[in-house]
Chain A
Amino acid sequence: MSKPDFSDPAIVERLTAALEAAGVDGIEITRPDQSLLIRLSGSANAAVRQLLARRTDAEGVLVVVKAPMAGVFWPTDLSRTSGPATSAASDMIGLLQVGPILLPVAAGPSQRLRRHLVETGTVVGFGDPIAEVEPEA
């Protein structure tokens, strides 16, 4: 049996429909060459889908960094406005604010930020995807 291509919209669509029918909030599938995350946040009338399909390419594998705990997402230390002083360690992808405390979230060894997956000031829960990172060039 051939492996399904998780970047194929038709497969994503079928999986989403199956999740909705089963009343499941989301699914995450990871294998060496691809990973897929589908999250459904339903309203009374329609389900909203957040799809993240990644594929191995010449530059390497994208990895999703998840929130290590609940907090408010900040891409940088917004409480300090002194220009260079706000620059963080090079592998930092953001901070989670919990009251007066800021928890730095690192990209991981030899990884760099590709893009954030949440807006500044968003409340995230434990395990929520907050950024995509990729191997350093």
Chain B
Amino acid sequence: MIEIIQTGPFNTVQDLGRPGFRNIGVTTSGAMDPLALKIGNSLLGNESGAAALEIQTYPFKLRFSKATAFAVTGADCGASIGGRTIQPCCALSVEAGQVLELGQPRVGTRAYICITGGIDVAPVMGSRSTSLRGAFGGREGRHLMTGDTLQLGEVSNPLNLPAAGLSVVDPTYALAEVYPAPQDGVLLVRAIPAGEHALFGADAERFWSQTWKISTQSDRTGYRLMGDPIKPTTPVEMRSHGVVSGVVQVPPSGEPIIQMADANTAGGYPKIAGVIEADLWRLGQARIGSRLRFVRVTHAQAAEVEKAVTGFVEDVRLTSRMVCGALQAMS
């Protein structure tokens, strides 16, 4: 069990979400940085989609009520255990009573606290993710509050972690070949032209060429961007249709909205592009006020990035268990 000692608003239990119910208006939810969630879980020997705590407001503090192991992935927020700084993205064993503390992030925005066995809240429609808008899932459908206690799940074959822990190479470094570095601080976000791209005529090119800023009207539902407005060549009125996370809509104001993890299930704005799934985690770690540019790619290129990322996560899972096994055999 863990106990929340200090938390801000909007920190929730998340896993990889509940796909398959958008037709009845249920948003998918799930971690804004699913890669961090998968890496943390894989490092610990959990199922890659085990539920974790998504922290996006700081400082945050929790106490472990029993001996277990944990990893803080995603944003580097100078985590410490018992007042001792720990390596970023490091799986460590803890004793009952120890306190984990997260400060303001130095890199990224959202940290994931993964714990051996995962957070054991009741699944709703196949997922433990909190749907804040629907007020269900996670911890009573709400964000975490000071004093909350959460149960942990069981794992059949836990890792025997070394005393100094086990960390992961920064995925941005390990996957540098498939993730282009930001240019002058501008995050490059890859996307595929969507259904109404052609309606924007010459403005469509400005969508790709200009630098957009993430506005303060951004949250888990969507990111509103700021920049030179883009407009369809003739006004369009569309019937509402299904949308998914990653869809980039252009409302009448001309400033795009990127649908994120708590994406609306339907919308009527024209869609100019769709951010590739493998790049959504980078948006999940982008700060409000930071800048981005869309880079046009093909479906095949998107699939290649996806393959590399899947391979990395699998490599983490296998190597973590192999290293722990080897150390145990040699001790």
Chain B, interface size category, equals 20 to 34
In the complex, residue of chain B having the shortest beta-carbon distance to the beta carbon of A92? B164
Q: Mark B132-171, 1 if CB is under 8 A from A, else 0.
A: 0000000000000000000000000000001111111110
Instruction: Please name all residues of chain B whose beta carbon is closer than 8 Å to the beta carbon of A92 when the two chains form the complex.
Output: 87, 164
Contact partner, A106, options B85, B164, B320, Cβ 8 Å? B164
Q: Mark A97-137, 1 if CB is under 8 A from B, else 0.
A: 11111111110000000000000000000100000000000
Q: Is the CB of A100 within 8 A of B165?
A: no
**Residues of A36-85 contacting chain B, CB below 8 A:** 68-69, 77-80, 82-85
Q: How far is the CB of B315 from chain A (nearest CB, A)?
A: 5
Q: Is the CB of A102 within 8 A of B169?
A: yes
Q: Is the CB of B174 within 8 A of A80?
A: no
In the complex, residue of chain A having the shortest beta-carbon distance to the beta carbon of B76? A85
Tell me whether A101 and B169 are in contact in the complex, defined as CB-CB below 8 angstroms, given that A77-B88, A85-B78 are known contacts: yes
Chain A, interface size category, equals 20 to 34
Q: Is the CB of A103 within 8 A of B162?
A: yes
Q: Is the CB of A68 within 8 A of B162?
A: yes
In the complex, residue of chain A having the shortest beta-carbon distance to the beta carbon of B315? A100
Instruction: Please name all residues of chain A whose beta carbon is closer than 8 Å to the beta carbon of B241 when the two chains form the complex.
Output: none
Main secondary structure of the interface of B (DSSP, over half): mixed
Tell me whether A79 and B169 are in contact in the complex, defined as CB-CB below 8 angstroms, given that A85-B107, A106-B164 are known contacts: yes
**Residues of B63-118 contacting chain A, CB below 8 A:** 76, 78, 84-88, 90, 106-107
Q: How far is the CB of A112 from chain B (nearest CB, A)?
A: 15
Q: Is the CB of B106 within 8 A of A84?
A: yes
Assess whether A29 is interfacial by the CB under 8 Å rule: no
Q: Is the CB of A80 within 8 A of B170?
A: yes
Q: Is the CB of B166 within 8 A of A99?
A: no
Assess whether B202 is interfacial by the CB under 8 Å rule: no
Q: Is the CB of A101 within 8 A of B107?
A: no
Assess whether B327 is interfacial by the CB under 8 Å rule: yes
Q: How far is the CB of B311 from chain A (nearest CB, A)?
A: 10
Tell me whether A69 and B330 are in contact in the complex, defined as CB-CB below 8 angstroms, given that A98-B323, A102-B166, A104-B90 are known contacts: yes
Q: Is the CB of B86 within 8 A of A103?
A: no
Q: Is the CB of A104 within 8 A of B164?
A: yes
Residue of A77, A87, A92 with most chain B CB atoms under a 10 A cut-off: A77
Assess whether A89 is interfacial by the CB under 8 Å rule: yes
A residues sitting closer than 8 Å to B (CB atoms) are 68-69, 77-80, 82-85, 87-90, 92, 95, 97-106, 126
A-B contacts, 8 of them at CB < 8 A, read: A79-B172, A80-B76, A80-B107, A83-B106, A101-B167, A101-B169, A102-B169, A105-B164
